Amino acid sequence: MPVYQAPVQDTLFVLNDVLGWQRHDNLSGFSDAAPDVVEAILNEAGRFASDVFLPLNQVGDREGCRRAEDGSVATPTGFREAYGRFREAGWGSLSADSAYGGQGLPHTLAAAVNEFLSSANMAFAMYPGLTRGAIAAIESHGSPEQKALYLPKMVDGVWTGTMNLTEPHAGTDLGLLRTKAVPQGDGTYAITGQKIFISAGEHDLSENIVHLVLARIEGAPEGVKGISLFIVPKFVPDAAGNAGARNAVSCGSLEEKMGIHGNATCVMNYDGATGWLIGEADKGLRAMFTMMNEARLGVGVQGLAISEIAYQNAVAYARDRLQGRALSGTKHGTKAADPIIVHPDVRRMLMTIRAINEAGRALILWTALQGDLSHRSPDDKAREGGDDWMGLLTPVIKGVLTDKGFENAVLAQQVYGGHGYVAEWGMEQFVRDARIAQIYEGANGIQALDLVGRKLALNNGRAIQAFFKEVGAFCEEHRADEAMAPFTKTLKKGLNDLQAATLWLMGNAMGKPDNAGAASNDYMHLFGLVALGYMWGRMAKIAQAKLAAGANGDTSFLENKLVTARFFMERLMPETSAHLARISTGADTMMALDADAF
Amino acid sequence: MPVYQAPVQDTLFVLNDVLGWQRHDNLSGFSDAAPDVVEAILNEAGRFASDVFLPLNQVGDREGCRRAEDGSVATPTGFREAYGRFREAGWGSLSADSAYGGQGLPHTLAAAVNEFLSSANMAFAMYPGLTRGAIAAIESHGSPEQKALYLPKMVDGVWTGTMNLTEPHAGTDLGLLRTKAVPQGDGTYAITGQKIFISAGEHDLSENIVHLVLARIEGAPEGVKGISLFIVPKFVPDAAGNAGARNAVSCGSLEEKMGIHGNATCVMNYDGATGWLIGEADKGLRAMFTMMNEARLGVGVQGLAISEIAYQNAVAYARDRLQGRALSGTKHGTKAADPIIVHPDVRRMLMTIRAINEAGRALILWTALQGDLSHRSPDDKAREGGDDWMGLLTPVIKGVLTDKGFENAVLAQQVYGGHGYVAEWGMEQFVRDARIAQIYEGANGIQALDLVGRKLALNNGRAIQAFFKEVGAFCEEHRADEAMAPFTKTLKKGLNDLQAATLWLMGNAMGKPDNAGAASNDYMHLFGLVALGYMWGRMAKIAQAKLAAGANGDTSFLENKLVTARFFMERLMPETSAHLARISTGADTMMALDADAF
């Protein structure tokens, strides 16, 4: 069975040293999260992940969820009990508003905990993850009555939530959706239609399931301008606010899929189910995007999470597996062979994963902090800056960290050789689970288009200009520092490539949008490398400063950071040139073939 | 269910135009394979693949193989009958020696047919594939009696073959293997030990299974110098040469694995089984490598094969799935949305796969032809050159085309969005099946080491120098040709990068082998790009020449070739710089961490 130990030390390094956690203790929630409290929470969350979530990960994969004739869905053995412990421990309500029973802690902290839980059992962590997204939508767009009725139960976890967007013919293009909502004259709507790919759509973990459903009110305009968002509870709350009468919504079938078997992916049938409009009529997409942004960052976390647990197991195997001798001469002469961690190509795989994970963790927490600032800072500029950063980096984190997360799971599996292909070792499950993160909540191609087609131009490019300025200033600040040169020089080169790519887009994509589409994937990954490189630059600087100041006892952790930072600059950053070269070729060749010539 | 149509036209283009098939009609086997015969064979093989193999591909994945209490293994529904048809049609004996009942046709043709069969059902095609490897080993190293006893049955397919190398503690490092062989005084040996990951180790397709088993004769030296190869038939042939008494070899269990469920991956237990030495005692590795080389090229073919069928289905879906509108303006106003093939990022994925597949096919057939020349040419130089090319390109084809094959299957799956993750569409099976090709027959890291650590230096670098000369001469020859400039300029740049990387290795890896190990993966992929780019250069030249000569009716095929060639040069070749940059950083950072610092 795979092992897992939450990367608490690394997370604390990011929170305390990279983010300067204590600098923010004037903000709501942060004042309750002094460093010792944060450390205790992370340690406890790590233990919970390893002790409660991890042992169910392979069980969930093997058993999957089961739908009975009556449409009810049973989660795998142990999930119910574990979910009860999860609720009791309050892991789902860490950053929820205290007005609804939450603990009001920073979202940044919740993101860190979410990484641990998703590493240990991604399919399981999705149940509360989707609930958090639904909470966010109701909190932002619901009426006071809706909030009062649903949020306390959902924050507690006794009710869970889902997002119902996709229909068989309408995935990325939600304008095509057909599910209809007919006003009943009593303020409610009768919802009718079919939704597919609904994660956690039906299960036995909670007393009620609160479906947030996109539908079209009868007579509404076609396309995306006629879509509204509805709350459709599985059980209609009774007068006392408890789960009451069964609503006309049911799970028609479960999808058989590549991975995340522990999560129930449902076809949901709405047969005149009673729904309540949330937010304004025909403005459902806006409300849905509140959920989506939350969810997209969460999916980026999943990419990191799988990459981290896959890494840890690949390391354990590489230390343990004896095979061949080191190229540089026998290292363990008393053993029949050397452990494979002596081989450079095994190192290459491990170092690659490590370099992405540590920077990815920093980038996620950095971005989550910007999100907290955007909501909680008393300073207008800080709120605006935080919001800009969040908007700009969300597609990058979702797209890049899930692409890399999958690639890293594949690399970690490769370390195992043939054993990686065999189910019992658990590595192939990581690959199968990681794969979905590149697809759902907007396939990564959509993330790239969101970045290139929307986020770059927003507010006249305010966010991207701020990003260039911030990273550029960091390079400039440490330009004369010889110890920092290996990092800032490469980072600056990457930044130049990104700026050149941005200029190219400005010059070539306005009049010819296909040039933007043809560039989008490379641009997103180029951006990701610069953003991760920036994190490495900052981490290297801090490691050097702490070492220079005589870090007590912790020197190897900091020295390892510097090695990994160098590896990132040497081995991963060179890709920025290739991205720029591809971007600059434009769309002509890509679009030249007739559709039927393929 | 996935669709498949064998790429016969493209294969004929490679055979007739790129390889100049008729130029070789003086060689044995080629004289029986005039262009019209080849075309008929390919068409028939394509039909067979689509009609017989393809319908069993998802069945095989879903059902898998089943082991009964008595150790017998049942293949999935339909496999037995289909195997019978396969044998009757003679697909397994195309290029086998006519002395043993084979058809004696060129291996090049067999490689083409193998691609079709592996596309349609990779797990199934492995059964005869392994038999071909075993035939090659017996043919090269067996005694006349062994050949006479085993080869006719194996060529016919009524008996199948396996390779038994891996043990639980001995995978890459065969020197560690423990299976022992005790002389029985009658010329036979008693073989005892356990082998794992034995593909097609036990099944119900054939009357007998001929295991080729690596074992150590009692008293033999330790390490790789004490390993011998044995024939251990499931049923010992009787006096008439038919399957006789049951031998003490059995399938202990089947591995549950990520993919290729239709193929039985067995733990094989040898309990004093009767075995016959093949070739010389203690020289078993040499004999095994005859099988391995055959097998490695076959695995490269699998990479291409999965990539091809995944591509075809992604194309079909991209033409059919309506979602969103073209960035450049609505293309199909009468439909609710445009087919997603109008989107540049979907094109990017399809064109990437296509550009690798078409060049990969050319490279495989080009290399297979070199293999045929190495055996069949009357010219010493041609035989030597063919052998050099085969040796040099085998690890490149295995490593690069399986890495790319997997990545391409992932891209093709991505085209499907959420539907790609759902089992019924079949795309996720391609990803799971393709994954094994990167691992077995020597994990790709081993291929890279074989290339860098062994093949480059062989005969004072004769093979690599010949490769440089050939590709360089091609670029030089067409340097002044303006129409060829877009291709040769980029190819030459790639060749320069490869030469620079080779020089770097010569200067930095002799004294410090870790530098070779740290460079190996990048070097292999850099090599692959140049080799594929060379194929594109040649294909572009031929397409231009045929167009200039007024190709009759076929112009769109040739024009599409030129577009795809340009795409390869613009979008894939830029990676050579990044590879060179990584290679040149050396091993220091990669190897800097303590093993317990990971």
Kindly indicate the confidence band of residue A286, based on its pLDDT and cuts at 50, 70 and 90: confident
pLDDT tier for residue B67 given thresholds of 50, 70 and 90: very high
- ∠ CA A297-A302-A307, nearest 5°, is 130
Please tell me if residue B547 touches chain A, with a CB cutoff of 8 Å.
Answer: no
pLDDT digits (tens, 9 = 90+) for A455-485: 999 999 999 999 999 999 999 999 999 999 9
> Looking up tokens 């071909």, which residue turns up?
B132
Query: Above 90 in pLDDT, residue A292?
Result: no
Q: Provide mean pLDDT across the span A357-370.
A: 98
User: pLDDT digits over A16-45, tens only?
Assistant: 999 999 999 999 999 999 999 999 999 999
C-alpha to C-alpha distance for A312 and A138, rounded to whole angstroms: 38
Reduced to 3 states (helix: H, G, I; strand: E, B; else coil), residue A95 is coil
- Cβ count near A88 (within 10 Å): 9
The catalytic residue among A167, A294, A308, A441 is A441
Closest Cα to residue B571, out of A455, A590, A428? Answer: A590
Contact: A432, B258; criterion CB under 8 Å: yes
Instruction: Check A348 against B556: CB less than 8 A apart.
Output: no
Do A125 and A53 form a contact (C-beta atoms < 8 A)? yes
pLDDT tens-place string over residues A233-275: 999 999 999 999 999 999 999 999 999 999 999 999 999 999 9
Q: Which residues from A are below 8 Å from B3, CB to CB?
A: none
DSSP string, B217-260: ETTPPSGGGGBEEEEEESEEE-TTSSEEEEPSEEEEEEPPBSS-
B441 is catalytic: yes
pLDDT of res. B291: 75
- Give CA separation, B471 vs A223, B175, B492, in Å: 54, 38, 8
Q: Which two tokens stand for residue B41?
A: 């064979």
Tokens linked to B181: 């062989």
pLDDT band at A290 (very low <50, low <70, confident <90, very high): confident
Which residues, other chains included, contact B256 with Cβ-Cβ below 8 Å and sequence gap of 6+?
A422, A423, A424
Beta-carbon separation of A258 and B423 below 8 A: yes
- Distance, in Å, from the CA atom of A249 to the CA atom of A190, rounded to the nearest integer, reads 11
Q: Is the pLDDT of residue A436 over 90?
A: yes
Single out the residue of B136, B114, B112, B119 nearest to residue B21, CA to CA: B112
- Both tokens of B172, joined, read 């890459």
Strand B208-217 to B235-237 pairing: unpaired
CA angle B293, B299, B305 (to 5 degrees): 145
Q: Is residue A238 helix, strand or coil?
A: coil
Strands B265-278 and B228-233: antiparallel
pLDDT reported for residue B289: 80
Structure tokens given for B131: 């038999």
pLDDT reported for residue B318:
98
Q: What is the sign, positive or negative, of the torsion defined by CA atoms of B494, B495, B500, B502? A: positive
Residues of chain B with pLDDT > 70: what percent?
100
Q: Is the pLDDT of residue A341 over 90?
A: yes
Q: What residues of chain B lie within 8 A of the CB of A567, using their CB?
A: 589-590
Structure tokens at A32: 């309750």
What's the pLDDT at A293?
Answer: 78
Could you list the beta-strand ranges (E) of A200-282. Answer: 208-217, 228-233, 235-237, 243-246, 249-254, 265-278
Taking all residues of chain B, what is their mean pLDDT, rounded to a whole number?
A: 97
Task: Please report the pLDDT score of residue A291 as a whole number.
Answer: 75
pLDDT at B521: 98
Nearest CB among B417, B428, B589 relative to A258 is that of B428
Question: What letter does residue A322 receive in the DSSP assignment?
Answer: B
A561: which chain B residues are within 8 Å (Cβ-Cβ)?
none
pTM of the model: 0.98
d(CA B124, CA B122): 5
B410/A contact by beta carbon, under 8 A: yes
**Considering chain B, what percentage of its residues have pLDDT values greater than 90?**
97
Please say if the pLDDT value at position B290 is more than 90: no
Residue B294's pLDDT is what?
75
Report the distance separating Cα B371 and Cα A151, nearest Å. Answer: 70
Exposure class string for B87-96: b at 16+ Cβ within 10 A, else e: beeebbbbbb
> Is B169 in the A-facing interface, judged by CB distances under 8 Å?
yes
- Mean pLDDT confidence for B412-417: 98
pLDDT tops 80 at residue B393:
yes
Residue of B418, B516, B560 with shortest CB distance to A593 = B560
- For A320, other C-beta atoms within 10 Å of its C-beta total 10
Determine the distance from the C-alpha atom of residue A369 to the mean position of all C-alpha atoms in its chain, rounded to a whole number: 15
Question: B105: exposed, middle or buried (C-beta count within 10 Å: 0-12, 13-18, 19+)?
Answer: buried
Extract the tokens encoding A12.
């604390």
pLDDT of amino acid A553: 73
Chain B window 21-50: which residues touch A at a Cβ cutoff of 8 Å? none
A76's CB contacts (< 8 A; 6+ apart) are A56, A59, A60, A62, A63, A64, A65, A261, A262
- Side chain identity, residue B598: F
* Average pLDDT for A286-295: 80
CB B351 to CB A593 under 8 A? yes
Mutation for testing the A interface, residue in B591, B594, B596 having most A CBs under 10 Å:
B591
How would you label B14-33 residue by residue, b for 16+ Cβ within 10 Å and e otherwise? bbebbbebeebeebebbeeb
For A372-413, give the DSSP string. HHHHH-S-HHHHHHHHHHHHHHHHHHHHHHHHHHHHHHHHHH
User: For B559-598, what is each residue's pLDDT tens digit?
Assistant: 999 999 999 999 999 999 999 999 999 999 999 999 999 9
A308's tokens: 């981290």
Average pLDDT over residues A381-399: 97
Q: Is B402 part of the contact surface with chain A (CB cutoff 8 Å)?
A: no
> Where is B66: in which H helix or E strand?
strand B66-67
Number of Cβ within 10 Å of residue A153's Cβ equals 23
Closest Cα partner for A370 from A351, A349, A397, A345? Answer: A397
The model's pLDDT over B325-381, given as tens digits with 9 standing for 90+, comes to: 999 999 999 999 999 999 999 999 999 999 999 999 999 999 999 999 999 999 999
For residues A6 and A45, is the Cβ–Cβ distance under 8 A? yes
Q: DSSP states of B423-469 as a string?
A: GGGSHHHHHHHHHHHTTSSS-HHHHHHHIIIIITTHHHHHHHHHHHH
Residue in the structure block whose two tokens are 């990419």: A303
Q: How far is CA A199 from CA A65, B122, B223, in A?
A: 11, 32, 53
